[in-house]
């Protein structure tokens, strides 16, 4: 499986990336949280697995609605931030530091999500499928799963080989190429602050909607539904993100 191999996501990339979460507007995050609650029928007391949860962008608003959230992530500082925010807000969120391929829940959750482009990180494509299988196993029969991920067709239609942004004194430069044989965006990320620079090579495998549907079906999910926005617009090449839902069948032997 290669879990012991050092991936870009295990280095200091995510701690350095942290300020970029502040570029996502609260409006967008709230719309996503509301959408998840509605689409997944998440009532107070229901159990939700947020894997990987990051700094709790979605875990926190869900917990605020009384949903019992378990957050899994590999970045220690993110889980610490999530725990301290939850504590300050009087919320209880279970946090587990683990590689998403190594979670071992069995029929525990009413719903689960891999959200905010946390998919396609692994060198071997079989590990992407493994993360779906682990999420499937974590669900109670009848439980729902959401993959919220960038749309490959949007990337191809709007490919930008170089861009940069700046937030709170941190300059972030990205240089990208697209590997068409493997459907991988190969990027160099440069984080620059106070005259110091740190760069990372980041490879992310990206998928089109029909490929994810196939992977969902192979995993065992049924009732697969796809949307391009939180207002249920269909996916096309102008939708940057995809919301793909699947359900673990009520009677399943997997
Ligand atoms: C783009 S962030 C998204 C976080 C969150 N889902 C959100 O929507 O804000 C990706 C997250 O994946 C986590 N991550 C990366 N590789 C991981 C792995 N192998 N296992 C678990 N978490 C991982 C990172 O630490 C980071 O928090």
Crossing angle of helices 125-138/209-219, nearest 10°? Answer: 50
Closest residue by Cα to residue 12 from 224, 229, 196, 228: 196
CB of residue 17 inside a 6 A radius of ligand 1: no
Residue 55 has a pLDDT of: 98
Mutate which of 30, 52, 103 to test ligand 1's pocket (most atoms within 8 Å of Cβ)?
A: 52
CB of residue 120 inside a 6 A radius of ligand 1: no
Q: How many helices (H) and strands (E) does the chain have?
A: 7, 11
Look at the block and give the residue holding tokens 């949860």.
Answer: 53
Q: What's the CA gap between 116 and 242, in Å, rounded?
A: 10
CB of residue 99 inside a 6 A radius of ligand 1: yes
Tell me: pLDDT of 6 over 90.
no
Question: What one-character DSSP code corresponds to residue 88?
Answer: H
Confidence of residue 11 (pLDDT cuts 50, 70, 90): confident
For atom 16 of ligand 1, the residue with the nearest CA is 9
Residues in the chain: 254
Higher local confidence (pLDDT), 6 or 102: 102
Q: What's the CA gap between 41 and 162, in Å, rounded?
A: 40
Nearest atom of ligand 1 to the alpha carbon of 116: 8
Q: Is 81 exposed, middle or buried (0-12, 13-18, 19+ CB in 10 A)?
A: middle
Distances from the Cα of 24 to the Cα of 52, 90, 105, 139, angstroms = 17, 24, 30, 29
pLDDT digits (tens, 9 = 90+) for 85-120: 999 999 999 999 999 999 999 999 999 999 999 999
Domain annotation for the chain: domains and CATH numbers: 8-151+208-247 (3.40.50.150), 156-202 (no CATH)
CA of 251 relative to ligand 1 center, distance in Å = 31
Mean pLDDT of 71-88: 98
- Looking only at the bridges linking them, the beta strands covering 241-247 and 139-150 are antiparallel
CA of 52 relative to ligand 1 center, distance in Å = 4
Tokens for 83, please give them: 């725990």
Nearest atom of ligand 1 to the alpha carbon of 57: 9
Q: What's the CA gap between 127 and 49, in Å, rounded?
A: 19
pLDDT digits (tens, 9 = 90+) for 22-60: 999 999 999 999 999 999 999 999 999 999 999 999 999
Segment holding 203, helix H or strand E: strand 196-205
* Residue 228: half-sphere exposure toward Cβ, Cα within 13 Å: 14
Cα 226–chain centre separation: 16
Mutate which of 73, 130, 145 to test ligand 1's pocket (most atoms within 8 Å of Cβ)?
A: 73
């Amino acid at each position: 499986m290669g879990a012991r191999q050092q991936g870009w996501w295990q280095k200091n990339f995510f701690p350095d990336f942290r300020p970029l979460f502040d570029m996502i507007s609260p409006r967008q995050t709230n719309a996503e949280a509301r959408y998840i609650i509605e689409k997944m029928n998440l009532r107070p007391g229901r159990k939700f697995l947020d894997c990987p949860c990051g700094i709790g962008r979605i875990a926190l608003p869900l917990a605020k609605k009384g949903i019992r959230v378990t957050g899994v992530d590999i970045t220690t500082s993110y889980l610490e931030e999530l725990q301290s925010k939850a504590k300050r807000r009087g919320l209880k969120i279970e946090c587990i530091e683990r590689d998403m391929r190594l979670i071992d829940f069995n029929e525990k959750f009413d719903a689960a999500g891999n959200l905010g482009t946390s998919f396609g990180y692994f060198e071997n494509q079989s590990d992407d499928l493994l993360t779906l299988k682990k999420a499937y196993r974590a669900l109670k029969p009848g439980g729902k799963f959401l993959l919220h991920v960038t749309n490959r067709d949007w990337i191809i239609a709007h490919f930008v080989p170089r861009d940069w942004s700046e937030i709170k004194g941190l300059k972030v430069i990205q240089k990208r190429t697209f590997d068409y044989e493997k459907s991988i965006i190969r990027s160099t990320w440069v984080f620059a602050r106070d005259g110091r620079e740190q760069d990372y090579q980041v490879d992310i495998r990206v998928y089109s909607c029909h490929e994810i549907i196939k992977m969902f079906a192979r995993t065992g999910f049924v009732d697969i539904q796809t949307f391009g926005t939180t207002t249920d617009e269909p996916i096309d090449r102008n939708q940057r993100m995809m919301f793909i839902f699947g359900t673990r069948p009520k009677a399943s032997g997997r």
